[in-house]
Structure 1
Amino acid sequence: MAKINGNEIRPGFVINHQDRLWVAVKVDHVKPGKGGAYAQVELKAILTGTKLNERFRSAETVEQVELEFRDFTYLYEQGDQLVFMDQNSYEQVELDKEFVGERAAFLQDGMKITLEMHEDTPLGVRFPPNVVLEVIEADPVVKGQTAANSFKPAKVSNGLRVMVPPFIAVGERIVVDTAEATYMRRAD
């Protein structure tokens, strides 16, 4: 852990504050006419999601936490647990579905993901930017719709509903953005 001055905090930094790990969500640097400058920082607790607004003066020091990024392979689902294997040590890690969140629907056998770790504790999951899924249900095209600005709902192989252009039909493979769960393009 590195010590940094309070005015060096930037959005995305992970700090140890009040014996908890926080990620800086928003940072405003304030220079009042009277008194010293400070950083007004909106923090979000990594493990609980609690928010906190805190002032850090430039003379104060905080501990910036360096996260370790380790590559894992998704193996299988077991009840409410998702099982991953470290690609280097072959050690297996189980994570709650709730911890992974809604994006767990994108997990596919053998998918490579990155876990953000701190002292061997997983703090976050990074998915590939997109996945290829098959369209299993799609509404028929409404006559008169133009492809330029109209989309129709479709259900893809992982159960999610995605808005797709009218020319996409059942059985086609499409590329879906994992961050937004949105259609990107037809798969090659």
Structure 2
Amino acid sequence: MPKINGNEIRPGYVLEHDGGLWAAVKVNHVKPGKGGAFAQVELKNLRDGRKLNERFRSEDKVERVSLENKDQQFLYETDGKLVFMDSETFEQTELDADLLGERRPFLQDGMTAKIEYYGDEPLSVALPQKVICKVVETEPVVKGQTAANSFKPAILDNGLRLMIPPFVGEGEDIVVHTETMEYSERA
């Protein structure tokens, strides 16, 4: 694993620090009038989600870790565990359902997700940026209501509540952003 200087840390880098794996969330380079320059870095622990603010001087050496991304297919959920299968080797991996958090309803059977590995340890799951969902329940379409930029509540087939434009009716397929959890367009 390569060692980098403290002033080379960028957001998104994964570092080995204090015996754990940390992702750099925010990096602020500070050059005070007196003393040496340093990087004020907000770190997030990839294993337990703790946050930490750390100061790295330019001469500090930090271990940068590269994670391996693998596309894996979601099979099923059992006892709070999500089971994924590698489409090349057909090996199955079990992950905690908590890794997805509030984005869990977007995970559909057969969906391909990116899983980041550190060695053999799976650390995170990234869903596709957009998924297609069906509107199960919403208010009826009212003529002439499309002129104003307004939204109405809807319930999707995965149980999620979402605000959608007034022209979308029940039974229609829509595209939803998985990161922002917002309506994107009709499918």
Query: TM-score if structure 2 supplies the norm length?
Result: 0.95
| Conserved? CA contact 2:75–2:85, under 8 Å | yes
The answer to whether structure 1 residue 19 and structure 2 residue 8 are counterparts is no
1:142 Cα deviation from its structure 2 partner: 5.7
Q: What stretches of structure 1 move > 2 A for 4+ residues in a row?
A: 140-148
Q: Deviation at 1:108?
A: 1.1
Unmatched segments (≥5 aa) in structure 1: none
Supply the distance in 1 between the matched residues of 2:124 and 2:80 (Cα, whole angstroms).
17
Report 1:25-174 matches (<5 A).
Answer: 25-141=25-141, 145-174=145-174
- Give percent identity, aligned residues only: 60
Per the TM alignment, residue 119 of structure 1 is displaced from its structure 2 partner at its CA by 1.1
SS of 2:99 mapped into structure 1: helix
Q: Distance in 1 between matches of 2:7 and 2:109?
A: 44
Q: Which amino acid aligns with 1:21?
A: L
Q: Unmatched 5+ residue regions in structure 2? A: none
Cα distance in 1, alignment partners of residues 42 and 99 from structure 2 = 22
Shift of 1:100: 2.1
SS at match of 1:7: helix
Per-residue CA deviation, residues 70-89 of structure 1 (Å, 9 max, x unaligned), is: 11000011121111001221
Q: String of CA shifts for 1:56-110, please: whole Å, max 9, x gaps.
A: 1111100000010011000011121111001221110111111221211111111
Alpha carbons of 1:80 and 1:147: their partners in 2 closer, same or farther (altered >3 Å)? farther
Aligned counterpart, 1:186 = 186
Shift of 1:146: 3.5
Distance in 1 of aligned mates of 2:173 and 2:147: 18
CA distance in 1, matches of 2:47, 2:147: 44
Partner of residue 8, structure 2: 8
Counterpart AA for 2:168: I
Paired residues in the alignment total 187
Deviates more, 1:95-104 or 1:168-177: 95-104
Preserved CA contact (<8 Å) 1:133 1:174: yes
TM-score, normalised by the number of residues in structure 1: 0.95
CA distance in 2, matches of 1:51, 1:96: 20
